[in-house]
C-alpha cells in the first residue's frame, strides 16, 4: 500500500471511530442528565460482547475467499439483544459497535423488551453471484450460531439482507437448532414472517409525522409540507400526508429541488422519475436543496441521506416542525439551533423505529404461533409509535430540552435501570 493509500486508510478508520465515539457521547450525556454515577456509563459505553468471525467461501471460479464478519451485543439486561446484519465492503468493527448502541436506544424509546445488537459482513454484495451470496449468508450463521437465538440475540434485516437472505439464514440455523427454528430472526418472508414488514419503516415515519403535527397544533388539511429526500421513505410519507389534505410545496433529491407554493402533484412526479429514482433533473425550474430549506411551510420531512442541515443552513428554516427520517442527518448543533429558533425536531432514532417495532411484533407472533392480519399489525405499530412520541414530548417539556436530547434520555433509561435492578452496578 502506498503512502496515499495508508493516509486514506487512517482517515477512514478515524471516520468510523468517530461514529462510535459519537454514540458513546450520546449515552454519556443521557446518563449524566438522569444523574447516574460514572460506573453506569463505564458499563454501557462498550458492548457486552463483540464477536469477530472468519467465513471461508468457495467462489464460482474455484478459489476460496475468506470474509470477515461481526456480531456485537451491546446490552441484554432488558431482554435478548436485537439488531440487523448488513453486507458492506467498508464496514468496520466500530461501525457495528455504534449501530448496536443505537439499537439499544431505539428499543428503549419504543419500550420493547430487547437490548441492542448489530452485525455485518465485510463484502461487496454486488460483486457476488447468487450462489456465492447464499454460501456467505449460511457461513455467517454457522460462525455465530453459539451466540444467537430467541433468548440470546435476534437477527433482523439491514442493508442488502432482504427476505431471500433471511430465508437462507433461517434454513441454515434450523439445521442446528430444531427447537428455535424461526424465533432467532425477524424480517423473514412467508416462512414465519409478519405482514406489514415491507413498509414498516416508512409507515412508522408517517405515523410520527402526523402525530407530531397534532402535538404542534399544525392543521394537516391544507398544511404546507416540504419533502427533503424524495426516495422510498420520503415518497411514502408524502402520499400518506396528501391523503390528509396537505399540499406538498417542495421536494428534493440528489440533483436538486422543486418548489411550487400552490402544491406539487406527487403522483405526477412519481410517474416521471428516471431509472435512478430522480425527478428534479427533468425540470428546468429546479432550485438548490439549500434554497428549498427556506421556503414557507409548516412541516419539513428530512428523508435525505446528505447533511444539508448544518447550523448555518437551518437558520433559513421557517417551518414549525421538522421530522428527521434520514439517518442522523441533523447534527446536535443544528438541532440546538432549530430548537432556539422555535422549530421542533423529531429525531431519526425515533422516526425510524418502525422496523424495530415490527421485529418485536413478529417475534410475538412467532412465540404464540398465531399471526395477525395486516390491519391489526398496523394498529399495534401505530399505538406503539404514538405512545413513544408522547413520552418523548412529555419529557422534553418537563425538562425544557429539545426532542433529540429527550429521546436519548428515554432511550437509555430502561437499560440503565435494568442493569441496576439486576445488581450489575
124-135 pLDDT, tens digit each = 999 999 999 999
Q: Is the dihedral of CA 23, 28, 29, 31 positive or negative?
A: positive
Asked whether 410 and 391 are in contact (CB, 8 A), the reply is yes
Residues 6 or more apart whose Cβ sits within 8 Å of residue 202: 232, 233, 236, 237, 354
How many Å apart are CA 53 and CA 86, to the nearest integer? 14
Per-residue model confidence (pLDDT) at position 369? 84
Cα dist from 412 to 30, 103, 239, whole Å: 7, 10, 33
Residue 286 is labelled as binding a ligand: no
**Count of other CB atoms within 10 angstroms of residue 220:** 18
Q: What value does the mean pLDDT take over residues 96-125?
A: 97
Whether 241 shows a pLDDT value over 80: the answer reads yes
Which domains occur in the chain, in start order? Answer: 3-28+40-174 (3.40.50.10860), 200-351 (3.40.50.720)
Residue 84 — φ and ψ, nearest 5°? -80, 170
- Strand order, beta sheet including 81-88: 49-58, 64-73, 115-122, 81-88, 153-157
Q: What is the pLDDT of residue 188?
A: 63
Q: Are 123 and 82 contacting, i.e. CB atoms less than 8 angstroms apart? A: no
pTM of the model: 0.90
Instruction: Give kind and range of the element (H or E) at residue 380.
Output: helix 374-399
Is 75 part of any known ligand binding site?
Answer: no
- Asked if residues 220 and 248 have their Cβ atoms less than 8 Å apart, the reply is no
CB 363 within 8 A of CB 183: yes
Using a 10 angstrom Cβ sphere, with 0-12 exposed, 13-18 middle and 19 or more buried, the burial of residue 271 is exposed
Contact assessment for residue 332 and residue 355, using Cβ atoms and an 8 Å cutoff? no
Q: How does residue 10 score in pLDDT terms, banded at 50, 70 and 90?
A: very low
Burial of 68 (0-12, 13-18, 19+ CB in 10 A): middle
Residue 369 is classified by DSSP as: T
106 vs 16: which has the higher pLDDT: 106
pLDDT of residue 191: 60
Long-range CB pairs of 10-16, under 8 A, 24+ apart, other chains included: 12/90, 12/92, 13/92, 16/92, 16/94, 16/95
Q: What is the pLDDT of residue 308?
A: 79
Judged by average pLDDT, the poorest of 192-201, 226-235, 377-386 is 192-201
Which set of grid coordinates corresponds to residue 198?
A: 415491507
Closest CA to 121 of 169, 75, 187: 169
Query: Of 398 and 188, which is predicted with more confidence?
Result: 398
Distances (CA, A) of 191 to 88, 159, 182, 323, 380: 26, 20, 8, 34, 21
Q: Which residues of 126-164 are buried (b: 16+ CB within 10 A; e: fewer)?
A: eebeeebbbbbbbbbbebbeebbbbebbbbbbbebbebe
Quick: pLDDT tens for 311-369.
888 999 999 999 998 777 888 888 889 989 999 999 999 999 999 999 999 888 888 88
Q: How far is the C-alpha of 20 from the C-alpha of 211, rounded, in Å?
A: 31
Segment 1-23 shows an average pLDDT of 61
**Cα–Cα distance measured from residue 174 to residue 181, given in angstroms and rounded to the nearest whole number:** 5
- Count the residues in the chain: 425
Amino acid at each position: 500500500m502506498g503512502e496515499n493509500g495508508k493516509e486514506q486508510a487512517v482517515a477512514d478508520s478515524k471516520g468510523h471511530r468517530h461514529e462510535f465515539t459519537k454514540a458513546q457521547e450520546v449515552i454519556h450525556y443521557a446518563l449524566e442528565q438522569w444523574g447516574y454515577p460514572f460506573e453506569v456509563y463505564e458499563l454501557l459505553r462498550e458492548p457486552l460482547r463483540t464477536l469477530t468471525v472468519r467465513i471461508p467461501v468457495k467462489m464460482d471460479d474455484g478459489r476460496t475467499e475468506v470474509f470477515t464478519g461481526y456480531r456485537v451485543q451491546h446490552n441484554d439486561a432488558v431482554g435478548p439483544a436485537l439488531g440487523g446484519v448488513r453486507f458492506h465492503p467498508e464496514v468496520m468493527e466500530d461501525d457495528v459497535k455504534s449501530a448496536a448502541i443505537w439499537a439499544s436506544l431505539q428499543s428503549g424509546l419504543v419500550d420493547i423488551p430487547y437490548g441492542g445488537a448489530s452485525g455485518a459482513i465485510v463484502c461487496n454484495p454486488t460483486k457476488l453471484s447468487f450462489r456465492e451470496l447464499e454460501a456467505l449468508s449460511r457461513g455467517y450463521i454457522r460462525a455465530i450460531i453459539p451466540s444467537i437465538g430467541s433468548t440470546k440475540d435476534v437477527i433482523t434485516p439491514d442493508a442488502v439482507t432482504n427476505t431471500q437472505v433471511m430465508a437462507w439464514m433461517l434454513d441454515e440455523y434450523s439445521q442446528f437448532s430444531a427447537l428455535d427454528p424461526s424465533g432467532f430472526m425477524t424480517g423473514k418472508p412467508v416462512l414465519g414472517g409478519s405482514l406489514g414488514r415491507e413498509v414498516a419503516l416508512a409507515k412508522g415515519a408517517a405515523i410520527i409525522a402526523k402525530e407530531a403535527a397534532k402535538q404542534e397544533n399544525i392543521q394537516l388539511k391544507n398544511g404546507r409540507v416540504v419533502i427533503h429526500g424524495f426516495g422510498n421513505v420520503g415518497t411514502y410519507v408524502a402520499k400518506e400526508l396528501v391523503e390528509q389534505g396537505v399540499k406538498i410545496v417542495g421536494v428534493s433529491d440528489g440533483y436538486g429541488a422543486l418548489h411550487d407554493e400552490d402544491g406539487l402533484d406527487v403522483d405526477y412526479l412519481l410517474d416521471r422519475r428516471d431509472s435512478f429514482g430522480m425527478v428534479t433533473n427533468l425540470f428546468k425550474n429546479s432550485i438548490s436543496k439549500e434554497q428549498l430549506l427556506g421556503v414557507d411551510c409548516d412541516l419539513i420531512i428530512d428523508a435525505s441521506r446528505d447533511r444539508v442541515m448544518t447550523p448555518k443552513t437551518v437558520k433559513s428554516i421557517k417551518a414549525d416542525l421538522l421530522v428527521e427520517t434520514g439517518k442522523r442527518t441533523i447534527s446536535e448543533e443544528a438541532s440546538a439551533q432549530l430548537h432556539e429558533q422555535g422549530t421542533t425536531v423529531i429525531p431519526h432514532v425515533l422516526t425510524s423505529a418502525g422496523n424495530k417495532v415490527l421485529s418485536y411484533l413478529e417475534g410475538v407472533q412467532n412465540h404464540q404461533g398465531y399471526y395477525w392480519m395486516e390491519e391489526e399489525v398496523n394498529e399495534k405499530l401505530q399505538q406503539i409509535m404514538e405512545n413513544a412520541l408522547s413520552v418523548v414530548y412529555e419529557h422534553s417539556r418537563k425538562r425544557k430540552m429539545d426532542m433529540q436530547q429527550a429521546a436519548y434520555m428515554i432511550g437509555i433509561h430502561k437499560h440503565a435501570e435494568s442493569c441496576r435492578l439486576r445488581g450489575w452496578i
